[in-house]
């Protein structure tokens, strides 16, 4: 009986929480927090605004770019510097613009997510240390050059250059900057690992030289939340600091308690970090679709919000389908409550398409159509929409489940590999990589350009390109028809070096761990199943 009471209390608490975390409460909370984000971005309007995926993407309609710093890399006793997520474009952008602003949020009642408290501070410190090491190596090289220089005038010039380099390296702040709430014990544990992480970065093949020339001042994080006191008449210019600021903005209030708020029209419950875990509440709504129709959604009120969003999501789906874009049907689970769906008072909402005006009702969203060329390899990676809008490539590899119409290509210049996510099929990517590499080899040896795409251009297509780069290119990223691959045993570290090179150009790449495992299995000759194709032929 006691266990039943505990279960009933637990179910009741879950039900109350679910009722508080409604779609309108989440979207209204995001909208309120976005005002704060906008105010902070206006304090330094010259600095680009970046969203830390995926939660941060909900909190503004005006992001310059995105980044991907995971909170798990900053969890206590799980600290990590992941060379698969170097975010090199963030460091370069900060160097070019004099800094940047990164937006994220958390539901856990903390002022900042661990991505901001520890992951990004570790990232800035490791990059700064690598730059100091690079400058020291350049200094040693210049000293060596000075020793063999016989011209007195040139020797004096070299002396001055060496001295300047030595002074700059000495002044470059490579210390670890953490917020005050991180304990001394945790700081000490992180500092013990910094040297190893720096060596990993240097061995990864990342272009530290270009980063060192781009950054005029060391990277350093600053933290701003809704509790931060800022005197508007004393806001410093970002150029006045002796470092390149990475301003970390935690968008939500950190009370950790759901607050009841009201206006003259509606009342709602404020949810801190409402943008987190969007699959559990967004009902198919995307950040872009939300911001394109924000006032209609917010003004619909709590009672009509679900139906309003359902209409918008379905219209957007039809709009995408008409243009050949990915348009999966959004299915929603009926709400769980103390009353089952057999209760006669429960009515499942039904959306009719008869009254949908696809043309006029809402502002639609198109997928990103950017194509990322991978250096001088003649390979590009992109989205399905990018493939539909690009006619300047010689051949196309479609790694999406759906077929693709490319009337400007003949059959020999098009390959469709219906690869699905590793969560649906653990061997789907692995089983198609031999065909992908052989198709790429056939075309690249003729000097043709190749576009590899999947629906979002972030995962499957990136992993296919990684396999091609590793199997058909040497360490200098020069096409060698697989010669170096046939003579080398590929390690995980070598594959990661290729991934670092790829991510330098494809800045939106986010390959999943499951797919990366399949790529390594293929390249190392592993056989996860009896029907799996062999590794690519290099003849």
The reply to whether 149 falls in a domain is: no
Rounded percentage of the chain residues whose pLDDT exceeds 90: 58
In whole angstroms, what is the distance from residue 349 CA to residue 316 CA?
A: 19
Q: Which comes out higher in pLDDT, residue 20 or 6?
A: 20
294, 323, 352 - which closes a domain = 323
Rounded mean pLDDT of 124-131? 97
Q: Answer yes or no: is pLDDT of 425 > 80.
A: yes
Query: pLDDT value at position 370?
Result: 80
Query: Are residues 452 and 380 both part of a single domain?
Result: yes
Rounded percentage of the chain residues whose pLDDT exceeds 70: 78
Q: Which of 7-11, 282-286, 338-342, 404-408 has the highest mean pLDDT?
A: 282-286
The reply to whether 2 falls in a domain is: no
**What 3-state DSSP class applies to 203?**
helix
The reply to whether 154 falls in a domain is: no
- CA gyration radius for the chain? 26
Query: pLDDT value at position 528?
Result: 39
Q: Which residues contact 499 (CB under 8 A, 6 or more apart)?
A: 83, 84, 466, 511, 516
Query: Are residues 386 and 309 both part of a single domain?
Result: no
Query: pLDDT value at position 10?
Result: 62
The reply to whether 242 falls in a domain is: yes
- Residue 355 — pLDDT band, cuts 50, 70, 90? very low
Task: Provide DSSP, 9-49.
Answer: HHHHHHHHHHHHS-HHHHHHHHHHHHHHHHHHHHHSTTSPE
The reply to whether 470 falls in a domain is: yes
Query: Are residues 376 and 307 both part of a single domain?
Result: no
Give the rounded distance of the alpha carbon of 19 from its chain centre. 31
What is the rounded average pLDDT for all residues in the chain?
83
Rounded mean pLDDT of 235-254? 93
250, 275, 297 - which closes a domain = 250
In whole angstroms, what is the distance from residue 106 CA to residue 254 CA?
A: 8
Query: Are residues 300 and 425 both part of a single domain?
Result: no
Query: Are residues 241 and 314 both part of a single domain?
Result: no
Residue-wise pLDDT for 157-191, tens only, equals 555 544 555 555 558 999 999 999 999 999 999 99
Query: pLDDT value at position 47?
Result: 97
- Residue 263 — pLDDT band, cuts 50, 70, 90? confident
Backbone conformation region of residue 98, classed left if phi is above 0, alpha if psi is from -120 to 50, else beta? left
- Residue 259 — pLDDT band, cuts 50, 70, 90? confident
Query: What Å distances lie between residue 500 and 87, 145, 373, 494, CA to CA?
Result: 10, 31, 14, 10
SS (H, E, C) 434-457: HHHHHHHHHHHCCCCCEEEEECCC
The reply to whether 131 falls in a domain is: yes
Query: pLDDT value at position 12?
Result: 63
Residue-wise pLDDT for 62-117, tens only, equals 999 999 999 999 998 999 999 988 999 999 999 999 999 999 999 877 889 999 99
- Residue 534 — pLDDT band, cuts 50, 70, 90? very low
Q: Which comes out higher in pLDDT, residue 338 or 300?
A: 300
Query: Are residues 89 and 219 both part of a single domain?
Result: yes
- Residue 322 — pLDDT band, cuts 50, 70, 90? confident
The reply to whether 366 falls in a domain is: no
Task: Supply φ then ψ for residue 273, to 5 degrees.
Answer: 60, 35
In whole angstroms, what is the distance from residue 66 CA to residue 369 CA?
A: 15
Query: Are residues 229 and 289 both part of a single domain?
Result: no
Query: Are residues 125 and 217 both part of a single domain?
Result: yes
Q: Answer yes or no: is pLDDT of 50 > 80.
A: yes
Query: pLDDT value at position 348?
Result: 40
User: CB count, 10 Å around CB of 458?
Assistant: 19
Give which of 397, 385, 386, 405 is closest to 433, Cα–Cα. 397
Query: pLDDT value at position 345?
Result: 34
Q: Answer yes or no: is pLDDT of 339 > 80.
A: no
Max Cα-Cα span within the chain: 97
Query: pLDDT value at position 140?
Result: 72
- Residue 421 — pLDDT band, cuts 50, 70, 90? confident
Query: Are residues 98 and 185 both part of a single domain?
Result: yes
Query: Are residues 380 and 453 both part of a single domain?
Result: yes
Query: What Å distances lie between residue 501 and 124, 134, 173, 383, 533, CA to CA?
Result: 20, 18, 27, 19, 27
Query: pLDDT value at position 59?
Result: 97
CA triple 361-367-370, angle to 5 deg: 145
Q: Work out how many domains the chain is built from and give that number.
A: 3
Query: pLDDT value at position 296?
Result: 94
206, 232, 250 - which closes a domain = 250
Give which of 392, 517, 389, 537 is closest to 471, Cα–Cα. 537
In whole angstroms, what is the distance from residue 406 CA to residue 389 CA?
A: 10
Could you list the residue range(s) of the whole structural domain that residue 382 is in? 371-525
Q: Which comes out higher in pLDDT, residue 266 or 89?
A: 89
Rounded mean pLDDT of 301-308? 93
Query: Are residues 242 and 301 both part of a single domain?
Result: no
Helix (H) or strand (E) holding 88: helix 88-97
Query: pLDDT value at position 390?
Result: 78
Q: What is the CATH number of the domain that holds 457?
A: 3.90.190.10
Q: Answer yes or no: is pLDDT of 49 > 60.
A: yes
Rounded mean pLDDT of 365-374? 74
- Residue 319 — pLDDT band, cuts 50, 70, 90? confident
Query: Are residues 233 and 298 both part of a single domain?
Result: no
Rounded mean pLDDT of 202-215? 93
- Residue 326 — pLDDT band, cuts 50, 70, 90? low
Query: pLDDT value at position 436?
Result: 96
The lowest-confidence range among 27-41, 198-212, 221-235, 378-392 is 378-392
Helix (H) or strand (E) holding 221: strand 219-224
With beta carbons less than 8 A apart as the criterion, state whether 414 and 406 touch. Answer: yes
Give which of 92, 106, 312 is closest to 214, Cα–Cα. 92
The reply to whether 433 falls in a domain is: yes
Query: pLDDT value at position 261?
Result: 82
Q: Answer yes or no: is pLDDT of 429 > 50.
A: yes
Rounded mean pLDDT of 114-131? 96
Tokens representing 116?
Answer: 């901001």
Query: pLDDT value at position 264?
Result: 67
């Amino acid at each position: 009986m006691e266990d039943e009471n505990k279960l009933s209390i637990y179910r009741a608490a879950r039900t109350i929480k679910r009722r508080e975390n409604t779609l309108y409460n989440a979207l209204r909370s995001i909208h309120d927090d976005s005002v704060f984000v906008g105010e902070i971005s206006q304090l330094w309007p010259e600095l680009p605004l970046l969203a830390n995926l995926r939660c941060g993407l909900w909190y503004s309609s005006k992001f310059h770019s995105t980044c991907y710093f995971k909170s798990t890399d900053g969890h206590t006793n799980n600290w990590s510097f992941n060379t698969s997520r170097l975010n090199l474009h963030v460091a370069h952008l900060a160097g070019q613009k004099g800094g940047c602003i990164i937006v994220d949020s958390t539901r856990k009642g903390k002022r900042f997510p661990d991505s901001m408290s520890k992951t990004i501070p570790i990232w800035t410190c490791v990059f700064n240390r690598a730059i100091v090491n690079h400058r020291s190596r350049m200094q040693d090289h210049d000293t060596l050059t000075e020793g063999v220089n016989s011209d007195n005038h040139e020797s004096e010039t070299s002396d001055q250059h060496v001295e300047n380099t030595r002074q700059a390296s000495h002044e470059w702040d490579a210390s670890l900057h953490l917020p005050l709430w991180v304990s001394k014990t945790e700081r000490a544990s992180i500092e013990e690992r910094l040297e190893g992480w720096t060596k990993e970065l240097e061995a990864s093949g990342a272009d530290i030289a270009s980063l060192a020339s781009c950054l005029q001042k060391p990277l350093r994080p600053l933290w701003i939340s809704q509790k931060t006191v800022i005197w508007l008449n004393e806001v410093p210019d970002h150029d006045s600091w002796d470092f390149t600021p990475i301003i970390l903005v935690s968008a939500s209030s950190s009370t950790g308690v759901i607050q009841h708020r009201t206006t003259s029209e509606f009342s709602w419950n404020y949810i801190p970090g409402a943008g987190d875990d969007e699959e559990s509440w967004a009902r198919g709504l995307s950040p872009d679709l939300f911001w394109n129709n924000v006032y209609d959604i917010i003004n619909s009120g709590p009672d009509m919000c679900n139906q309003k969003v359902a209409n918008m999501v379905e219209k957007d789906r039809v709009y995408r389908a008409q243009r050949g874009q990915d348009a999966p049907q959004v299915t929603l689970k009926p709400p769980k409550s103390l009353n089952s769906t057999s209760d006669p008072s429960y009515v499942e909402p039904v959306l009719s398409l008869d009254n949908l005006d696809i043309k006029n009702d809402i502002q639609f969203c198109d997928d990103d159509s950017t194509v990322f060329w991978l250096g001088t390899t003649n390979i590009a990676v992109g989205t399905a929409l990018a493939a539909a809008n690009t006619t300047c490539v010689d051949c196309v590899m479609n790694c999406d489940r759906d077929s693709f119409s490319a009337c400007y290509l003949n059959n020999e210049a098009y390959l469709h590999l219906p690869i699905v996510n590793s969560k649906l099929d653990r061997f789907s990517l692995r089983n198609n990589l031999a065909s992908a590499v052989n198709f790429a080899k056939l075309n690249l040896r003729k000097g043709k350009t190749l576009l590899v795409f999947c629906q979002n251009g972030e995962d499957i297509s990136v992993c296919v390109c990684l396999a091609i780069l590793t199997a058909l290119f040497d360490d200098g990223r020069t096409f060698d028809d697989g010669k170096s691959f046939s003579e080398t045993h590929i390690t995980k570290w070598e594959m990661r070096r290729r991934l670092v090179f790829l991510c330098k150009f494809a800045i939106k790449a986010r390959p999943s761990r499951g797919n990366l495992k399949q790529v390594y299995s293929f390249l190392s000759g592993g056989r996860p199943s009896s029907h799996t194709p062999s590794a690519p032929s290099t003849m």
